Chain A
Amino acid sequence: MTAPTDPYAGERETTEGRVYTVTGGDWDEIFGSGDPLDEERLVVNMGPQHPSTHGVLRVVIEIEGETVTDARGVVGYLHTGIEKNCEFRTWTQAVTFLTRADYLAPMFNEANYCLAVEKLLGVEVPDRANLLRVIMMELNRISSHLVWLGTGGNELGATTPMTDGFMDREKILDIFELASGLRMNTGYIRPGGVSNDLPPGGAEQIRELLPYLRKRVDWYEGLLTGQPVFYKRLKQVGFIDVPGALAMGLSGPMLRAAGLPWDLRKTMPYCGYETFEFDVPTQTEGDCFARYLVRMEEMRQSCRIVEQALDRLAPGPVMVEDKKIAWPAQLALGADGLGNSLDHVRHIMGQSMEALIHHFKLVTEGFRVPPGQVYHAIESPRGELGCHLVSDGGTRPYRVHVREPSFIGLQSIGALVEGGMVGDAIVSIASLDPVMGGCDR
């Protein structure tokens, strides 16, 4: 039996079966033409588009009725060759590239890369630099989760979490601006420490922000957790259990929402996280709602860590002492952003020949890193963020590879979405919290 010729839906035979090009509304005639189970299959191409701040993602979904039978993610639209570019810059300059990978978690990209470089060099950063890194990373975790909450809510049609989430994130970006002069791609954490110290009153400003953030997290929970529409959209959607998550390489909130309390800050501590008191929130349901609860609680725990780090913050250097590694330009924050400190310029130009030589050598040539390779991983807002570095003993990295949790996570679109409703696909993908800048690098 063949369908009557339709002026609105041209048809053609392909090796995959009959394909309709639907231009009108005569669906009954088209669907009445054959076995509904065979003929109802539609291939829907979602994207490539820029859904809110995730980046450019394309998902090819095969649906029968409302049920997704096959889903594939297509990535690479934001590939900018960050890894290759790093091979042509000095070890310090590479930070500028890597901070742009996962643009919602710049501090994590920078910190992880710098920790890997420091492992290759065999240097340890001063206490104050370490604490500043922890403070910035945990604030960044909150800001990243706020964007996840905002865009996730927006994709469900809830605009309030989006507008409010972005508003609160701005307050954290203000802190980044205060410390580094930049709001997003900060380049704040450098091999050997951080680019510059907090300005006077900076620590107090961060401390004043914490009660506000705590209050806001409670407010979001009050707004969303008991909300029946929100609950029903997230509950028992996008399920993945612990063995499934491990097989797919999912880590971070995805794994903890399934019930495995694996947090690299606790299990393989770095940056002195073993000395902080905080909890690792877990849930056992392994669905989107469990992931939501885990992320909300993580924001509170991050506030706790920032508070403890602020208590410990004692005056001291923020860069290693070794003048062969430490970035020489003592930067100063002026009214127009980050710039060279006039005191430093006076010092190198008028007082110390050695300081001028060090400045010149490090800025133009960079430092050498002994040959070898390392892998370092930290707990980013999206899970294990790894950095594989190879040095050939030169002033530039021989190879930089970033193990990006967004890239790994998007593989499991099929596992999360297939068999569910097409409307739930969006929720499931949003619960992965993918950031395409990181995924595609």
Chain B
Amino acid sequence: MTEPKEPAKPTGEIQEVGPSAGDVAPGAVHKGMFGVAGSGDTSGYGGLVRRVVVPGSTERPYGGYFDEVSDALEEAYPQFSEAILRVVVDRGEITFYIKKERIAEVCQTLRDDMSLRFEFCASVSGVDYLEQSERLHVCYHLLSMTYRRRIRLEVATTAEDPHVPSVTGVYPTADWQERETYDMFGVIFDGHPALTRVLMPDDWEGHPQRKDYPLGGIHVEYKGADIAPPDERRAYK
């Protein structure tokens, strides 16, 4: 019996994907091409390493209404420089990265200030950036119907201390959406009236949409061949 071959070592040059301008945010590193390890990859693609570069922080002027929103928030919220970590404008959308302790206050200001008036919280959802130290992100999509503007707020927290203040006091509609984010990502929203699971069964263990949570599935035999579940199949990176 032969020993399985060593997986191909990353030998290639690091190739950066994405816009070259802006600072390099910690992002996913893609190794190889086909998502297989341990097989005798003779193509050479197994040694390919690509680091994904997400758009870095943007300098003023942001363009469009983004400057007005930013100015108005700076004026209405005295702790602006301390609470807002960075601002990213990408694909016609603005994202304010906010210190997580401040998120409820910032939302309160955004909703109530006359020149901001983000009266509608469209969406709250989580994203798990597995390779970052503060891997669990919560994105808030706010909509100002008065000014017809949309912005995104984003906070990041670690998986070890996944506490984020709840915004249900400002936006009651965030109730079930924060429950979903807790259910799927394990972010604990402090101050939420009843933070329980909403989509998964109450006694479920784990948080299914975290990136280290497997998709699951069973092997299926089809015409004599073994078909692996989707997360175990080889796939292009």
Interface residues of A (CB under 8 A from B): 75-76, 79, 81, 83-85, 87-89, 119-120, 122, 246-249, 251, 260, 262, 267-268, 364-366, 370-375, 377, 384, 386, 388, 390, 392-396, 398-399, 401, 403, 407-408, 410-411, 440-441
Residues of A within 8 A of B90 (CB): 372-373
- Contacting pair B173 A79 (CB below 8 A): no
- Chain A nearest CB from B55 CB (Å) reads 6
Task: Give the docked Cα–Cα distance between A371 and B17 (Å).
Answer: 8
- Contacting pair A401 B176 (CB below 8 A): no
Task: Give the docked Cα–Cα distance between A76 and B184 (Å).
Answer: 12
Residues of B within 8 A of A365 (CB): 236
- Contacting pair A411 B175 (CB below 8 A): yes
- Contacting pair A393 B139 (CB below 8 A): no
Task: Give the docked Cα–Cα distance between A398 and B53 (Å).
Answer: 14
- Contacting pair A375 B173 (CB below 8 A): no
Task: Give the docked Cα–Cα distance between A76 and B127 (Å).
Answer: 20
- Contacting pair A401 B172 (CB below 8 A): no
- Chain B nearest CB from A193 CB (Å) reads 20
- Chain A nearest CB from B20 CB (Å) reads 12
A74: nearest chain-B partner, CB-CB:
B198
Residues of A within 8 A of B171 (CB): 247, 249
Query: How many pairs of residues, A versus B, come closer than 8 Å at their CB atoms?
Result: 136
Residues of B within 8 A of A399 (CB): 127-128
Residues of A within 8 A of B197 (CB): 76
Contacts A247-B171, A408-B177 known; A79 to B123 CB distance under 8 Å?
no
Given contacts A119-B92, A374-B93, A411-B176, 18 further A-B contacts (CB under 8 A): A76-B201, A81-B208, A85-B230, A247-B171, A248-B173, A268-B150, A371-B17, A372-B91, A373-B127, A373-B152, A377-B150, A393-B18, A393-B30, A393-B52, A394-B236, A395-B236, A403-B123, A407-B176
Contact of A84 among B30, B125, B215, B236 (CB under 8 A): B215
- Contacting pair A249 B198 (CB below 8 A): no
Residues of B within 8 A of A267 (CB): 145, 148
- Contacting pair B199 A75 (CB below 8 A): yes
- Contacting pair B141 A386 (CB below 8 A): yes
Residues of B within 8 A of A411 (CB): 172-173, 175-176
- Chain A nearest CB from B64 CB (Å) reads 13
A79: nearest chain-B partner, CB-CB:
B199
- Chain B nearest CB from A71 CB (Å) reads 14
Residues of A within 8 A of B121 (CB): 249
Chain B 67-107 per-residue mask, 1 if CB under 8 angstroms from chain A, else 0? 00000000000000000000000111101000000000000
Task: Give the docked Cα–Cα distance between A384 and B184 (Å).
Answer: 22
- Contacting pair B123 A375 (CB below 8 A): yes
Q: Which residues of B (193-225) have their CB < 8 Å from a CB of A?
A: 197-201, 208-209, 215
- Contacting pair B200 A371 (CB below 8 A): no
Contacts A79-B199, A371-B54, A407-B176 known; A395 to B127 CB distance under 8 Å?
no
- Chain B nearest CB from A262 CB (Å) reads 6
Residues of B within 8 A of A79 (CB): 199-200
- Contacting pair A388 B91 (CB below 8 A): no
Contact of B152 among A81, A375, A392 (CB under 8 A): A375
- Contacting pair B198 A75 (CB below 8 A): yes
- Chain A nearest CB from B212 CB (Å) reads 12
Task: Give the docked Cα–Cα distance between A365 and B180 (Å).
Answer: 31
Task: Give the docked Cα–Cα distance between A75 and B121 (Å).
Answer: 21
Residues of B within 8 A of A84 (CB): 208-209, 215
- Which of B122, B152, B199, B231 lies at the interface centre, i.e. has the most chain A CB atoms within 10 A of its CB? B199
B154: nearest chain-A partner, CB-CB:
A373
Q: Can you offer 13 A-B residue contacts whose CB atoms are under 8 A?
A: A81-B208, A84-B208, A87-B215, A120-B91, A246-B145, A365-B236, A371-B17, A372-B55, A372-B91, A377-B150, A393-B52, A396-B235, A399-B127
Residues of B within 8 A of A386 (CB): 122-123, 141
Q: Is B28 an interface residue (CB 8 A)?
A: yes
Task: Give the docked Cα–Cα distance between A119 and B173 (Å).
Answer: 27
Task: Give the docked Cα–Cα distance between A267 and B149 (Å).
Answer: 10
Task: Give the docked Cα–Cα distance between A120 and B145 (Å).
Answer: 24
Contacts A75-B198, A370-B18, A407-B176 known; A394 to B237 CB distance under 8 Å?
yes
- Contacting pair B91 A119 (CB below 8 A): yes
Residues of A within 8 A of B50 (CB): 393
- Chain A nearest CB from B96 CB (Å) reads 13
- Contacting pair B53 A371 (CB below 8 A): yes
Q: Is B62 an interface residue (CB 8 A)?
A: no
Residues of A within 8 A of B200 (CB): 76, 79
Task: Give the docked Cα–Cα distance between A212 and B30 (Å).
Answer: 55
Q: Is B12 an interface residue (CB 8 A)?
A: no
Residues of A within 8 A of B95 (CB): 373
